[in-house]
Amino acid sequence: MDVYLPIANLSVNGLVIVLLGGLTGLLSGMFGVGGGFLTTPLLIFYGVPPTVAAASAASQVTGASVSGAFAHARRGGIDYQMGAVLVAGGVIGTGLGALLFRLLQALGQIDTVINILYVLMLGGIGGLMAHESLGALRAERSGKPQPPRKRRHHPLVASLPLRWRFYRSGLYISPLAPLLLGVFTGVLTMLMGIGGGFILVPAMLYILGMGAGVVVGTSLFQILFVTMATTMMHALTTRAVDIVLAVLLLIGSVTGAQVGAQFAQKAKPEHLRLILAVIVLGVAIRMALGLGYRPDEIFTVIVQ
């Protein structure tokens, strides 16, 4: 099925894009991450210009996180106060990200920076998750319950001035910490076309020390708003949001997300996390190799 993408200016096989969206949607439903970290590189691999890929992948993440966010909201799994601070940071971050995007584009280093960011982020987070889930599985097999992790925020967070009470998260910390976290994920969202869930969730758990019950919901809440801001930012600056591409991705991802959520209810969380870790590490390794191998194209053309 040939579909012409009016902004990317090329014709693609619509079915492939829907399946791609479905795959990332499946991941997002199963693991609570946006799946953008897979969509953007795969779209680029398929021949979609990098800017269009990043700009359109953001709206796919919006769609995939909507139903998840609603579900968590019904269960009371969102700390709106924390979410609002994160979103505020995220919006600032997308603004900064847009400036950075333009600067790097002018220098011609945007692709390299995006690739290195992917390798560092995915490698780091994937390694952490693999380590943790393997530990949990080993502990389970030996019959000894793992010592419960002390829920605490990072000492650095405690040193920040100004403290707010976040009731639902069970925290009494400076709002600057989640604000900065929000800024950071906002920048990443703009640069990499990802939701940032796979960075946000561990950071909320281990740096902020939020209660596990509200982590995923609040992360989805933040992703929802930040990806919306990203789509707007791209529509206003790079003008690279391809609505046809976005709708194709959405068809796949919103369906995939629902199917993934059903799977997730039946599987063990440790197994799920291990699978996600393997996927994340795989993408990181592939990208790291890509940096070192001689690329297919030595020359690139940028229209001014």
Q: Which residues bind another protein (CB under 8 A)?
A: 2-4, 6-7, 9-11, 59-60, 62-67, 70-71, 108-109, 111-112, 116, 228, 231-237, 239, 241, 243-244, 246-247, 250-251, 254-255, 257-258, 291-295, 297-304
User: Do 160 and 234 form a contact (C-beta atoms < 8 A)?
Assistant: no
DSSP H or E stretch at residue 49: none
Question: Distance (Å, rounded) from C-alpha 90 to C-alpha 185?
Answer: 6
Give the DSSP letter string of 167-216.
TTTTEEE-THHHHHHHHHHHHHHHHH----HHHHHHIIIIII---HHHHH
User: Do 192 and 41 form a contact (C-beta atoms < 8 A)?
Assistant: no
User: Do 226 and 83 form a contact (C-beta atoms < 8 A)?
Assistant: no
DSSP H or E stretch at residue 4: strand 2-5
Q: What is the CA radius of gyration of the chain?
A: 19
Question: Distance (Å, rounded) from C-alpha 270 to C-alpha 186?
Answer: 28
Q: What is the dihedral of CA 210, 118, 100, 234, to 10 degrees?
A: -80
Question: In 3D, which of 15, 2, 7 has the Cα closest to residue 244?
Answer: 7
Burial (Cβ within 10 Å: 0-12, 13-18, ≥19) of residue 275: middle
Count of positions (residues) in the chain = 304
Q: Which is nearer to another protein, 152 or 286 (CB)?
A: 286
Q: What residues contact 295, with CB distance under 8 A and at least 6 apart?
A: none
Q: Which is nearer to another protein, 104 or 158 (CB)?
A: 104
